[in-house]
Amino acid sequence: MLNCTPAAVVINIPRRIIYALSYYVPSLGRIIAWGFGSRETTNYTYDLSDDSLFYLMHTIAVVTGAELDVVRGYIAEARTDTKLRETVIGAIRDSKFRYLSDARCEFGRRLGWYAFVRILKPRVVVETGVDKGHGAILLCAALLRNRTDGAGGIYFGTDINPEAGWLLRPPYSEVGSILVGDSIESLSRLTQNIDLFINDSDHSADYEYREYRTVAEKLSDRAVVLGDNSHVTPMLAKFAAECGMQFLHFREIPRDHWYPGCGIGIAFNRAKSSHRTEAHRIA
Ligand SMILES: C[S@@+](CC[C@H](N)C(=O)[O-])C[C@H]1O[C@@H](n2cnc3c(N)ncnc32)[C@H](O)[C@@H]1O
């Protein structure tokens, strides 16, 4: 029987704390295992849980109007791409950054970026903030597959660090290049219309918003904008509201990792998404 007396306030304290801790204690074990087993210091790599992958597929199906099985197929394509995996692991093993990286190939939420490229067939993809180049090589892998399907496209990454993008190797670098310098300055100089824009550079809210405003006039009619910072700031949601675009946020769940995960903010125009998907089916 429940204790409903004033004493319950005190009696329940340890029970409540133990219950709350049960949500976090598994992460403590993962933190220790990761501390000794991994070399990564930033931009951690991990796979997604099965549920998270399933939610990601549904999210992309809602945004693009593509069939769930089509999205599933593209995500499986990226996850089972042996050549891509070998290129990433080979680049890590050869790199001077190998003591700050794990020789593995896991893309987490970026698998969603891949599926967007495969479905939307963008002519120009821009990712701000390249770091090692996990997004860069994966996005270029999708563009190369699109090229095989008859749809050309190119990738621009921006990074203030001249050493960024060392994972982006041939043949993937055939369709991608990195613009070194401040992202907003590089975006201002870009002359192409952008079909898929991914924000992942300076993660302050102000900088993130300024990136969206800088590309606003360069976004094509069918553009989709993805934010890698939408679990931290509502700037992409704000930008979408100002532009009359729809907005969704997918939250990733890393598999067996202490990191709580990021997300994918998605600004899109539903009507144009459906139209695009029709064009994709015809193609
Ligand atoms: C989170 S990492 C990018 C991760 C990458 N998108 C990926 O998929 O792995 C952020 C990157 O933004 C770069 N960066 C930070 N401020 C920047 C700025 N003002 N302009 C361009 N790049 C910037 C950093 O050098 C860093 O490499």
Q: In CATH, what number is assigned to the domain containing residue 116?
A: 3.40.50.150
Judge whether 31 lies within some domain: no
Judge whether 18 lies within some domain: no
Cα 129 to middle of ligand 1, angstroms: 3
Cα 160 to middle of ligand 1, angstroms: 7
Judge whether 171 lies within some domain: yes
Judge whether 190 lies within some domain: yes
In this structure, the residue with its CA closest to atom 16 of ligand 1 is: 202
Atom of ligand 1 nearest to the CA of 110: 8
Judge whether 255 lies within some domain: yes
Domain coverage including residue 195? 46-282
131-185: pLDDT as tens digits:
999 999 999 999 999 999 999 999 999 999 999 999 999 999 999 999 999 999 9
pLDDT at 272: 61
Judge whether 23 lies within some domain: no
Across all residues in the chain, what is the average pLDDT?
A: 95
When pLDDT is cut at 50, 70 and 90, the band that residue 259 belongs to is very high
How many separate domains does the chain show?
A: 1
pLDDT at 2: 84
Q: What is the CB neighbour count within 10 angstroms for residue 118?
A: 27
Judge whether 27 lies within some domain: no
Distance between alpha carbon 181 and the CA centroid of its chain, in Å? 21
Indicate the top mutation candidate among 132, 137, 201 to test ligand 1's pocket, ranked by most ligand atoms within 8 A of CB. Answer: 201
119-141: pLDDT as tens digits:
999 999 999 999 999 999 999 99
Cα 131 to middle of ligand 1, angstroms: 5
Judge whether 35 lies within some domain: no
The pair of three-digit structure tokens given for residue 114, joined into one six-digit string: 């891949």
69-93: pLDDT as tens digits:
999 999 999 999 999 999 999 999 9
Residues in the ligand 1 pocket, defined by CB under 6 Å: 43, 110, 127, 129-132, 134-135, 158-161, 164, 182-183, 200-202
